[in-house]
Chains A and B, each alone.
Chain A
Amino acid sequence: MSQDVAPPPIADLTYRNYDGPKALRPLRWWTLSRSFIRTAMRKKAFWVLFGLLCMQWMLFALFVFINSQADQITGGAQRQLRAFNLANTFVDVTDIWIWVFAIALFIGAGSIAADNRANAIQVYLSKPLTRADYILGKWAGMVILLYFAQFVPMLVAVLYAALDQGFGEFLSSYPRLALVFPLVPLIPAVMHASMLIGISALNRTPAIAGIAYTGIFIVWNLLATAIANAPIVADDSRSTLLFLNPRGVIYGLIFNLVGTRGTPPGFRSELPLPEWAPLLGLALVLCAGSLALAVLRVRAVEVVKG
């Protein structure tokens, strides 16, 4: 008899309004960062790229292993070679930029663009959250994830190298590397996160944001290389000019931090370090400019001035 009656839309008739604790938290951006990290880590592609990044550091461990075997075979004659190689090899492996870049692109291109497309910013900003909180939340989430994605395999690889040599010898032979290597992943993490936040904020499609960032990253690098190698450029300026691009800034600062430029393929001897001051200046301009762009673009409403 009553089978035709539609069920009521309000399923839970016991529902009550919320009267529990509720407060304006000073670290409210952290909620957003946590959500960003959780969402990114749930994607399989992130773990595939992380696996490839780990392979990069396995290469480092493999080199250390081969070197230690060579040391045993030659009865200690390779000691000097090994001491030289370990710091440089660290830099050489770090200089393989592609997997860090790919992870950054994967997690960062859609960081704001996907929210623009889904109109999520209006939802975020209707909560007690400022535009700065929103951008800081996204930025911090990306920096933390990128940092640990690099740091974990790097730490394992460096620990293996230290164990291989013995901690005492490792610390006395490479005091600078032992001190600064935890800071190395911070540079790509901060640079990629800042620039991607700015570019992503300008777009409504993550793929377009990704293509734009890849274009800027690669084309600017090629352009800087071409300018640095131009005949009219003075020889003492070449080294610094070569690094005046996003990729160059990241790795130029890492080289300065570790204190060596490594031995890239095709170079038999150690190359001179680029000047750190112009690189730091450009890094700050790129980061601050990108974040300022994001602050300008992120709005709860699209304001069209007529």
Chain B
Amino acid sequence: MVANIRNLTVAYGRNVAVSGATCDIPEGCVGLLGPNGAGKTTLIKALLGFLKPNEGEGTILGYDIRSASLELRLHVGLMPESDCHIPGISAVEYVALAGELSGLPRANAMQRAHEVLEYCGLGEARYRFVETYSTGMKQKAKIAQALVHGPQLLFLDEPTNGLDPESREEMLELIRDISHNKGVNCIVSSHLLPDIERTCDWILVMSQGKIRSQRSVADMKGASDSLWDVELKEPVESFPSALEAKGAKALSYFSNLYRVEVPHGERAAMLILAVAREVGAEVRGLRPASRSLEEAFLEAIS
């Protein structure tokens, strides 16, 4: 586990932004998913020690978020949501300074700055001032400054904010490469489901300051007990009505493919096969239905 959070509550005055958050964040790439105002950024800021939690406790990489935030920041990187850079210096100086501030010796920081900027696709533009960069390049510079000191955990807050489709693709590919090929654990905060689906293996769903769900992407999208995909040899008109008579429901169908909802607790396969036999339909395929991430997300926050 890279982080353990127990009953964490963060409030701005009377407004509770994060309420009783409890979760264990595994290694790999974890998505922090939620609508705007769900408390994702506040949770990240509390974990980094920017905000003092009102209640609760937590550790990241074994460091206590209340008492060891400096040591913790030596081992994590943050790509903030807002447009940010250090004014008046070139990208390579910016990233090297970030490295030095993160505890790297000066020569190593400069060498790493060149390497990281090259890796992030800014090699050609590294001597330009960051304020002259396009939005996509600024996002890459932000990720480079977060990555320069070789963090074990990288927080990426809305990494695709304001990017055009091409830059977004590049950014998502970069995040996937960092987390899956370079061994850096990532926590990606976003309200964009496709971004999370592309990059993450595990998802924390937040809504109204609470953690609603924490599961792997496969689990979230995976089979539920109640939804089944049925393939018949040929369409049978009476199949949906026969299902309804038995308490089940054909949610949608296309040609000979039916998505069937079976009440919880029923022996679904047996029920569907019995109905098919009753209407004289030949079942070619029967499997638990997989949901889209959007469906799973809506279910989690509902």
Contact = CB atoms under 8 A, between A and B. Distances in A.
A299 B52 CA distance: 12
Main secondary structure of the interface of A (DSSP, over half): loop
Interface in B88-129: 88-89, 93, 97-98, 100-105, 108, 112, 115-116, 118-119, 121, 123
Interface residues of B, number: 56
A304 B177 CA distance: 37
Given A15-B118, A31-B97, A123-B145, A22 B103 contact: yes
Nearest to A29: B101
Q: Which of A24, A25, A118, A130 has the most CB of B within 10 A?
A: A118
A119 B12 contact: no
A301 B84 CA distance: 12
B180 interface: no
Given A15-B115, A17-B182, A304-B12, A10 B121 contact: yes
Interface string A3-41: 000101111100111111111110010011001000100
Given A17-B182, A119-B82, A10 B103 contact: no
Interface stretch (B68-76, B191-199, B205-213, B290-298): B68-76
B131 A23 contact: no
Contacts of A119: 80, 82-85
Contacts, number: 144
A306 B50 contact: no
Nearest to B104: A22
Contact of A24 (B70, B80, B131): B70
B70 A11 contact: no
B51 A303 contact: yes
A303 B149 contact: no
Nearest to A15: B119
Contact of B50 (A10, A128, A301): A301
Interface residues of A, number: 46
Given A128-B103, A300-B45, A306-B13, A22 B150 contact: yes
B131 to A, nearest CB: 7
A33 to B, nearest CB: 12
A304 B12 CA distance: 7
A304 B15 CA distance: 10
B80 A126 contact: yes
A267 B204 CA distance: 77
Contacts of B51: 301, 303
A250 B30 CA distance: 56
A300 to B, nearest CB: 4
A176 interface: no
Nearest to B123: A11
A11 B173 CA distance: 12
B97 to A, nearest CB: 5
16 contacts: A10-B173, A10-B174, A11-B119, A19-B150, A20-B104, A23-B74, A24-B70, A114-B88, A117-B87, A118-B84, A125-B50, A128-B73, A301-B50, A304-B12, A305-B12, A306-B14
Given A24-B70, A299-B50, 6 more contacts: A15-B116, A21-B105, A42-B88, A123-B98, A127-B73, A304-B13
